Structure 1
Amino acid sequence: MTPFPGSEELPLVDRTVLQALEEQLGQPDMARNFAKDYSALWGQRERRLVDSLEREDQAAALDAAISLKVSSAMVGGLRLACLAQILETAVRHGDLRRGASALALISIHGPATVNELQHQYLRQGR
């Protein structure tokens, strides 16, 4: 059982969020490019989180967690957005143990989210 009940029940990628983004932008290619950029930047986002937490730089960790939360929500990465919210809350409260647990799950679900985006959304546009 995860230390964050309910997060594992959320989808890695909710396609309806991506479809809504396509409609809001009025151009499916823009939504796809955003999803491609999100995927390409995953490693940098994760490294930024890890580095800021290792340095115990609360401001940088908060910024990285919020950025991950917002961008994940925009591409429909609901599970990752939830975990980033948990990390954000832990950082705000100085709870390093809970933050480390959230980061461990983010490191698992981040690549899985990117994989899901690439295989279930981005490849369909070809």
Structure 2
Amino acid sequence: MIATTETYPFRQDPVASAPTHLPEPREVVSSDSPPGHELPVLDLQNAWDISVDTGGPDLAINFLTDYMNLLHVRMFRILAALTAEDPEPAVNAVLSLKTSSSIAGALEIEGSCGVLLAAIAAGNFQLARVLAVDLGDHVDRMAAAAPAVLKHANEYLYHRAIGPSPVSTPSN
């Protein structure tokens, strides 16, 4: 049997539930690579806000680096809790990944966590384990792209902090 949205009415579309108002300016890490090889989406607005609040991009870059390094650890905690069908650790593990993904701007992972939380809240651990596979795919894509994503984030945040090079104008 193929599960559909009608089969599981509590399943939400993470894109449809995403906030519609986003402050400007936005920088989204993505790629012009061929289809199937795009970088995962990483919205850098929160990283920029951290840069502004802390007087430079160093802490924001450190946070993003730590976030990327902990992706598989957090995913392992989720899978272990789902296997044990223990709701409290499952919710805590998913909330940990969801919150850090929100701060990092990893919108796909954050959205998948929201859908997974709904399944756990409904007590449907069988569905939760299926949804965890989808979440794991997003986590794997982000972790695999981490070097390129971090490089882009680093360049963007430092360029934005320093500003564009002054344009020289001819004097008359």
Shorter-normalised TM range:
0.7 to 0.9
* SS of corresponding position for 2:141: helix
Residues 12 and 112 in structure 1, CA contact (< 8 A), matched pair in contact too: no
Q: Which runs of 5+ in 1 are unaligned?
A: none
Q: Which residue of the partner structure matches residue 123 of structure 1?
A: 151
Q: Which runs of 5+ in 2 are unaligned?
A: 6-10, 19-39, 156-172
How many residue pairs match? The answer is 124
Q: Which residue of the partner structure matches residue 34 of structure 1?
A: 63
Letter in structure 1 aligned against 2:140 = P
Residues 12 and 116 in structure 1, CA contact (< 8 A), matched pair in contact too: no
Residues 18 and 74 in structure 1, CA contact (< 8 A), matched pair in contact too: yes
Q: Which residue of the partner structure matches residue 48 of structure 1?
A: 77
Query: 1:15, 1:66 → 2: CA distance?
Result: 20
**RMSD of aligned alpha carbons:** 2.4
1:60 pairs, out of 89, 99, 115, with: 89
Residues 90 and 99 in structure 1, CA contact (< 8 A), matched pair in contact too: yes
Compare the two structures and name the one with the higher helix fraction: 1
Query: 1:114, 1:19 → 2: CA distance?
Result: 21
Work out which structure has the larger RCO, using CA pairs closer than 8 Å and 6 or more positions apart in sequence: 1
Residues 12 and 80 in structure 1, CA contact (< 8 A), matched pair in contact too: no
1:76 pairs, out of 105, 109, 112, with: 105
* SS of corresponding position for 1:66: helix
1:65-119 alpha-carbon deviations (Å, 9 max, x no partner): 1011000010000110010111111111101233122201111001212344431
Query: 2:100, 2:90 → 1: CA distance?
Result: 15
Query: 1:19, 1:117 → 2: CA distance?
Result: 18
Q: Identity of counterpart residues, as a percentage?
A: 25
* TM-score, normalization by structure 2: 0.63
TM superposition shift of 1:6: 4.5
Query: 1:24, 1:71 → 2: CA distance?
Result: 18
* TM-score, normalization by structure 1: 0.83
